């Protein structure tokens, strides 16, 4: 039966309620995504002599800026390639070889997701910095600050994202194809080149695009480890926060948006093209042990896992050291948080995380239901706005929020400077990913349930409450966790929205690090990681108790 | 409840899925929509249910047009091919769904659910989730769910096609018995001839968005009006009529056209209506024929015969004989056949 596809015009009696619901769903999307973006875009054209491209022209004629632009691409391209290659090796080892302890290594691969994004730079500085463990112990004279420091930090930062995508791509395989390839006499390398690689090319492309966007928009790592090596993201921060030059910040932000947007839409284009490699008859691949291959891959996986764990370990260690690097005896004093705002930023982060989880679940349920189930003329535009944030660097969104809402004439000004606006900003910053998770689940809820409900006398609301929502619930739990996690670790959008009384933990790490308070910064990072891991464990257990298995909490 | 369908048209883009359909359904009868895949059966059922809006025409329930009534207010019970039980609700909760939507009191709902479970013989399975029930059980629960609300009309879209043959046969009788006991007007879509013949009071044969013929199983078998119906229900010999009125090279008395001046173009005769004789016992006026093939099918034997003097392009004639053993029938053996005029059906006019 070909019942889906064309958008049926809803019957007359349904039109008014649908219009009202559409409005209720569309209004916040427009207000918190499109409006700030439109504002920042408009602002970038404002010059002393009226509207025009003068700001852009001046920026692109500025030699220093062009250097920064080139730096950004140099960092991004190299980090992306390295991260994707390493993640492919790691994912291949997990999915296609017989290495030991797969569950453990899989977990290690995603550890960076639990930490604030700048933890990589933080750890690298502790290990290889001027006062780092290695230089202090061996007097090695390693110079980590600058280009290679940024690249290494970025590779570690985006590694788990690439790993998750590639691992999924490598997980599906049809044993029959591999068998026939071998039967035809193809050797290992040839099978890889002619079968494995083509079958995972969409996953590869998606991983490349995702890493590209993440690297080019990240600013925590280059802030901490970049020294004089400026990139676009740090330049936005320096212009806005350092020199209070909103115009320049805005223009650079818009320039940053272009490659990020191209990569994000490239990724969408690719994943829409993804076809099923596994048919109904295919058999999963049975992995045969092969001592040589397995030994090589075990070595690779162990090396990568060690690098990831070393970063986390050194940060945890530093948080317990009395005064890095002078008094290396252990102490708990950094957990007293007697500096500046004390422990408050951590509580703020947790509160923001909880608010973002609650608001996010409601907002995502509404927008995905609207687009997937209440098909109407508004569905396509709403879909576009819903996934638009994937293309928008967090800094640009945050800057848009300042420009649009830090204005007493705007009603949102009432919550400006509160934790709430930060929570809202996080929800819309990560709207695209959560929206796609939810709409994928909704797509799997067959439309015949809606029809069955209607013929039994159920209104759309009955259907939603008694059927759709219960079926969607496990996914929504995953989405709540996603928002909480991201709120705990994100820096880029919130950096512009914090005030002295709404400081958040991830920003504290950055500021403390900047001030040279290495130990306290480390302690804050450890607390963030502890909270995220605790939240994950609690939710995992709660879901288990409720009888749900196979709910993926880590995205 | 009588249902009247008047001139219903439904288009999907360039495709006309329903082309001016007219139909009347009487109180308490079970009507089957029968036809090949894609002929519009499901679409017609969905228009009646209110799940699809017709582009033209009307659906009248006891004379009242349903056009402005949405599916959820029509009070029709619908059972889908894919069961479509709500996976988050157990059997009892599924049956209770329509009652909850009608805001029944809790104890009334409980009593009704128990009664329905009893009716379908699943009283012990109330607490099971759909995933814990077999296909046949799921489809019975779906039936109970549809019937619990006392629907004005029961609509079944290939309710048995996802089940295996044995379960299907049992459920056929169960559904039919239940329908007759409750006296509920029912429409069932199927593309299974046997299902339609065993269950339906009347069968609606559909083809390419149009109704080809409506009638009881016997009417459709004995008096098919078109070649499509004749061939869809049972086997038939289709014989072209020559412009001079000859069939198999012999002039015959054929029925007159309903419209003046129209003459038959195709006639049909069921294989068991063909009379076969040994050549020496041939009655006067019988046609000579030669055996092409004899097929022994146990209680009956099929003879494939070529009639002498029949025009070149005519297909061979199929005859069925009961209780005859074809031992000793060799290809080429001579026979005599009669085509009784009373058994000839006009399938196409010119
Ligand atoms: N929503 C739709 N959009 C476009 N075309 C449709 C839609 N629903 C049905 N059709 C087309 O209308 C025609 C009739 O479809 P319908 O489902 O009514 O057939 P059916 O008789 O039930 O067939 P089957 O026995 O295969 O179920 C088919 O050609 C089908 O492809
Ligand atoms: Mg159908």
Of B136, B209, B142, B134, give the one whose Cα is nearest residue B167: B136
- Among the residue ranges A142-146, A151-155, A210-214, A283-287, the one predicted with the least confidence is A283-287
3-state secondary structure of B28: coil
The residue whose C-alpha atom lies closest to atom 26 belonging to ligand 1 is: B37
A462 touches chain B (CB under 8 A): yes
Locus of tokens 């004279």: A141
A507 vs B257 pLDDT, higher one:
A507
Give the DSSP per-residue string, A219-247: -HHHHHH-TT---HHHHHHIIIIIT--HH
- Mean pLDDT over each residue of chain B, to the nearest integer: 89
Using the CB atoms, write b or e for B126-138: b if 16+ within 10 Å: bebebeebeebbb
pLDDT above 70 coverage of chain B, percent: 99
Using an 8 Å Cβ cutoff, are A55 and A247 in contact? Answer: yes
The confidence score (pLDDT) of residue A321 equals: 86
Strands B186-190 vs B15-25: parallel, antiparallel or unpaired: unpaired
Residue-wise pLDDT for B140-196, tens only, equals 999 999 999 999 999 999 988 878 888 888 889 989 999 999 999 999 999 888 899
Ligand showing the shortest atom-to-Cα distance for residue B34:
1
Residues at CB less than 6 angstroms from ligand 1: A 1-3, 5-6; B 12, 15, 17, 35, 37-43, 191
pLDDT above 90 coverage of chain A, percent: 48
Dist CA A236 CA A227 (whole Å): 16
Using an 8 Å Cβ cutoff, are A366 and A24 in contact? Answer: yes
A453 touches chain B (CB under 8 A): yes
CA A204, A209, A210, A215 dihedral sign is positive
Q: CB-hemisphere CA count at 13 Å for B190? A: 25
Ligand showing the shortest atom-to-Cα distance for residue B37:
1
The confidence score (pLDDT) of residue A6 equals: 39
Ligand 1 atom closest to residue B43's alpha carbon, by position in its atom list: 18
User: Which chain B positions have a beta carbon within 8 Å of A451's beta carbon?
Assistant: 51, 71, 78, 80, 84
Tokens of A202: 């969409």
Strands B186-190 vs B30-34: parallel, antiparallel or unpaired: parallel
Average pLDDT over residues A37-52: 86
A456 touches chain B (CB under 8 A): yes
**From the list A1, A9, A455, which residue is nearest B78 (CB)?**
A455
Quick one: DSSP state of residue A126? H
By CB neighbour count within 10 A (0-12 exposed, 13-18 middle, 19+ buried), where does B343 fall? middle
Q: How far is CA B6 from CA A346, B63, B64, B189, in A?
A: 70, 11, 12, 19
Quick one: DSSP state of residue B40? S
Using an 8 Å Cβ cutoff, are A393 and A257 in contact? Answer: yes
Residue-wise pLDDT for A350-388, tens only, equals 999 999 999 999 999 999 999 988 878 888 899 999 999
Same fold flag, A21-61+337-555 and A72-224+263-276+286-319: yes
- Mean pLDDT over each residue of chain A, to the nearest integer: 87
**From the list B72, B85, B86, which residue is nearest A459 (CB)?**
B72
Average pLDDT over residues A22-40: 92
A282 pLDDT tier (thresholds 50, 70, 90): low
Q: How far is CA A410 from CA A216, A308, A396, A457, A540, in A?
A: 32, 45, 19, 44, 41
Average pLDDT over residues A318-347: 81
Dist CA A197 CA A170 (whole Å): 9
Report for A313-327, A348-362, A398-412: range of highest mean pLDDT: A348-362
A466 touches chain B (CB under 8 A): yes
Dist CA B279 CA B292 (whole Å): 16
Using the CB atoms, write b or e for A145-160: b if 16+ within 10 Å: bebbbbbbbbbbbbbb
- Give the CA-trace dihedral at B174, B177, B183, B187, to 10 degrees: 50
- B42 C-alpha to center of ligand 2: Å? 4
Alpha helices in B120-225 (DSSP H): 135-148, 165-182, 193-199, 217-222
Dist CA A544 CA A209 (whole Å): 34
Dist CA A396 CA A254 (whole Å): 7
The confidence score (pLDDT) of residue A1 equals: 34
Ramachandran area for residue B298 (φ above 0: left; ψ -120 to 50: alpha; else beta): left
Q: Which residues of B touch A (CB under 8 A)?
A: 12-13, 42, 49-51, 53, 68, 70-78, 80, 82, 84-89, 97-98, 100-102, 145-146, 149, 155
Domain residue ranges of chain A, discontinuous segments joined by +: 21-61+337-555, 72-224+263-276+286-319
Residues B102, A457: C-beta atoms closer than 8 Å: yes
- Domains of chain B with CATH codes: 3-230 (3.40.50.300), 235-349 (2.40.50.140)
Q: With a threshold of 0.90, does the pTM exceed it?
A: no
A111 vs B285 pLDDT, higher one:
A111
Helices B135-148 and B91-101: crossing angle in degrees, nearest 10, is 20
The residue whose C-alpha atom lies closest to atom 24 belonging to ligand 1 is: B37
A401 pLDDT tier (thresholds 50, 70, 90): very high
A8 pLDDT tier (thresholds 50, 70, 90): very low
Dist CA B337 CA A215 (whole Å): 89
3-state secondary structure of B34: strand
Mutate to test the interface with A, among B37, B49, B68, B71 (most CBs of A within 10 A): B71
Locus of tokens 């006026």: B285
Report for A28-42, A351-365, B269-283: range of highest mean pLDDT: A351-365
ipTM of the complex as predicted: 0.84
3-state secondary structure of B340: coil
Question: What is A21-61+337-555's CATH number?
Answer: 1.10.3720.10
- A469 C-alpha to center of ligand 2: Å? 29
Ligand showing the shortest atom-to-Cα distance for residue B206:
1
Decide if pLDDT at B349 tops 60.
yes
pLDDT above 70 coverage of chain A, percent: 94
* Phi, psi (rounded to 5 degrees) for A177: -65, -40
Dist CA B115 CA B122 (whole Å): 10
Dist CA A165 CA A177 (whole Å): 22
A549 touches chain B (CB under 8 A): no
* Phi, psi (rounded to 5 degrees) for A499: -125, 170
Give the DSSP per-residue string, A244-260: --HHHHHHHHHHHHHHH
The confidence score (pLDDT) of residue A182 equals: 74
Residue-wise pLDDT for A499-533, tens only, equals 888 999 999 999 988 888 888 899 999 999 999 99
Locus of tokens 């991201």: A486
Strands B3-12 vs B56-61: parallel, antiparallel or unpaired: antiparallel
Using an 8 Å Cβ cutoff, are A337 and A343 in contact? Answer: yes
Using an 8 Å Cβ cutoff, are B230 and B268 in contact? Answer: yes
Residues A456, B88: C-beta atoms closer than 8 Å: no
A281 pLDDT tier (thresholds 50, 70, 90): low
The confidence score (pLDDT) of residue A2 equals: 36
Decide if pLDDT at A280 tops 80.
no
Residue-wise pLDDT for B293-348, tens only, equals 888 888 888 999 998 888 777 888 999 988 777 777 888 889 899 888 888 888 98
The confidence score (pLDDT) of residue A168 equals: 87
Q: Which fold has domain A72-224+263-276+286-319?
A: MetI-like fold (1.10.3720)
The residue whose C-alpha atom lies closest to atom 9 belonging to ligand 1 is: A2
A283 pLDDT tier (thresholds 50, 70, 90): low
By CB neighbour count within 10 A (0-12 exposed, 13-18 middle, 19+ buried), where does A73 fall? middle
Residues A451, B82: C-beta atoms closer than 8 Å: no
Q: How far is CA A206 from CA A84, A163, A169, A260, A434, in A?
A: 10, 11, 10, 13, 17
Decide if pLDDT at A275 tops 60.
no
- Among the residue ranges A61-75, B127-141, B260-274, the one predicted with the least confidence is B260-274
Decide if pLDDT at A328 tops 70.
yes
The confidence score (pLDDT) of residue B259 equals: 65
């Amino acid at each position: 039966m070909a019942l889906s596809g064309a958008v049926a015009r809803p019957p007359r009696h349904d039109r008014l309620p649908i219009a009202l619901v559409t409005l209720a769903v569309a209004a916040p999307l427009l207000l918190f995504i499109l409006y700030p973006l439109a504002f920042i875009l408009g602002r970038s054209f404002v010059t002393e002599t009226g509207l025009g491209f003068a700001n852009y022209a001046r920026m692109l004629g500025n030699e220093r800026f062009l250097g920064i632009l080139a730096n950004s691409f140099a960092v991004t391209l190299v980090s992306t390639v390295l991260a994707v290659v390493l993640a492919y090796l790691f994912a291949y080892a997990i999915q296609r070889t017989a290495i030991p302890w797969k569950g453990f290594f899989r977990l290690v691969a995603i550890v960076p997701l639990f930490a604030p994004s700048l933890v990589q730079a933080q750890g690298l500085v502790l290990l290889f910095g001027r006062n780092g463990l290695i230089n202090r112990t061996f007097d090695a004279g390693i110079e980590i600050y600058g280009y290679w420091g940024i690249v290494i930090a970025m590779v570690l930062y985006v590694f788990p994202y690439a790993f998750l995508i590639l691992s999924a791509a490598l997980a599906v395989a049809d044993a029959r194809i591999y068998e026939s390839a071998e039967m035809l006499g193809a050797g290992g390398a040839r099978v890889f080149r002619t079968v494995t690689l083509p079958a995972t090319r969409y996953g590869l492309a998606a991983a490349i695009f995702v890493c590209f966007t993440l690297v080019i928009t990240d600013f925590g790592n280059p802030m901490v480890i970049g020294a004089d090596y400026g990139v676009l993201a740090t330049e936005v921060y320096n212009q806005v926060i350092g020199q209070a030059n909103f115009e320049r910040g805005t223009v650079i932000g818009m320039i940053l948006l272009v490659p990020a947007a191209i990569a994000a839409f490239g990724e969408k284009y690719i994943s829409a093209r993804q076809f099923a490699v596994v048919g109904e008859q295919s058999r999963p691949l049975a992995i045969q042990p092969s001592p040589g291959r397995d030994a090589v891959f075990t070595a690779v996986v162990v090396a990568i896992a060690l690098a990831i764990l070393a970063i986390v370990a050194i940060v945890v260690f530093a948080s317990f050291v009395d005064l890095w690097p002078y008094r290396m005896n252990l102490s708990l004093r950094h957990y007293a948080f007697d500096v500046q705002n004390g422990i408050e930023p951590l509580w703020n982060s947790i509160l923001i995380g909880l608010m973002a989880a609650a608001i996010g679940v409601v907002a995502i349920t509404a927008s995905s239901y609207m687009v997937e189930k209440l098909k109407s003329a508004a569905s396509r535009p709403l879909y576009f706005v819903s996934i638009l944030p994937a293309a928008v660097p967090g800094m640009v969104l945050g800057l848009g929020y300042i420009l649009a809402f830090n204005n007493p004439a705007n009603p949102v000004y009432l919550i400006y400077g509160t934790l709430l606006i930060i929570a809202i900003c996080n929800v819309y910053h990560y709207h695209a990913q959560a929206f796609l998770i939810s709409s994928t689940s909704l797509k799997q809820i067959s439309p015949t349930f809606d029809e069955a409900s209607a013929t039994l006398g159920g209104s759309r609301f009955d259907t939603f409450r008694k059927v759709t929502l219960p079926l969607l619930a496990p996914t929504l739990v995953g989405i709540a966790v996603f928002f909480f996690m991201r709120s705990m670790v994100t820096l880029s959008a919130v950096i512009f929205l914090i005030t002295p009384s709404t400081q958040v933990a991830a920003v504290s790490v950055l500021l403390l690090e900047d001030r040279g308070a290495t130990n306290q910064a480390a302690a804050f990072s450890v607390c963030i990681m502890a909270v995220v891991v605790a939240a994950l464990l609690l939710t995992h257990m709660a879901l288990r108790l409720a009888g749900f298995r196979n709910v993926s909490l880590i995205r | 409840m009588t249902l009247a369908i008047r001139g219903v048209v439904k288009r999907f883009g360039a495709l006309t899925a329903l082309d001016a359909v007219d139909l009347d359904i009487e109180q308490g009868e079970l009507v089957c929509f029968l036809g090949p895949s894609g002929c519009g059966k499901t679409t017609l059922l969905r228009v009646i249910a209110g799940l699809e809006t017709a582009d033209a025409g009307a659906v009248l329930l006891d004379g009242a047009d349903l056009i402005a009534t949405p599916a959820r207010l029509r009070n029709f019970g619908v059972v889908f091919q894919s069961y479509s039980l709500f996976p988050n609700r157990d059997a009892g909760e599924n049956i209770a769904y329509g009652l909850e939507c009608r805001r029944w009191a809790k104890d009334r709902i409980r009593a009704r659910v128990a009664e329905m479970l009893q009716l379908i013989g699943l009283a012990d399975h109330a607490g099971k989730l759909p995933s814990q029930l077999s296909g046949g059980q799921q489809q019975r629960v779906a039936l109970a769910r549809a019937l619990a609300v006392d629907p004005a009309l029961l609509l079944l879209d290939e309710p048995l096609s996802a089940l295996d043959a044995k379960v299907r046969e049992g459920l056929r009788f169960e559904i039919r018995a239940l329908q007759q006991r409750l006296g509920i007007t029912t429409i069932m879509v199927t593309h299974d001839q046997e299902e339609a013949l065993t269950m339906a009071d009347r069968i609606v044969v559909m083809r390419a968005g149009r109704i080809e013929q409506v009638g009881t199983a016997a009417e459709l078998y004995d008096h098919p009006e078109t070649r499509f119906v004749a061939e869809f229900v049972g086997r038939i010999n289709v014989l072209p009529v020559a412009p001079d009125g000859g069939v198999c090279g012999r002039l015959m008395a054929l029925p007159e056209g309903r419209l003046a001046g129209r003459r038959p173009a195709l006639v049909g005769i069921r294989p068991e209506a063909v009379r076969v004789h040994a050549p020496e016992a041939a009655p006067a006026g019988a046609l000579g024929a030669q055996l092409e093939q004899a097929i022994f099918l146990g209680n009956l034997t099929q003879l494939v015969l070529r009639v002498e003097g029949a025009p070149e392009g005519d297909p061979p004639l199929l005859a069925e004989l009961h209780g005859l053993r074809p031992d000793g029938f060799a290809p080429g053996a001579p026979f005599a056949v009669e085509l009784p005029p009373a058994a000839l059906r006009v399938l196409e006019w010119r």
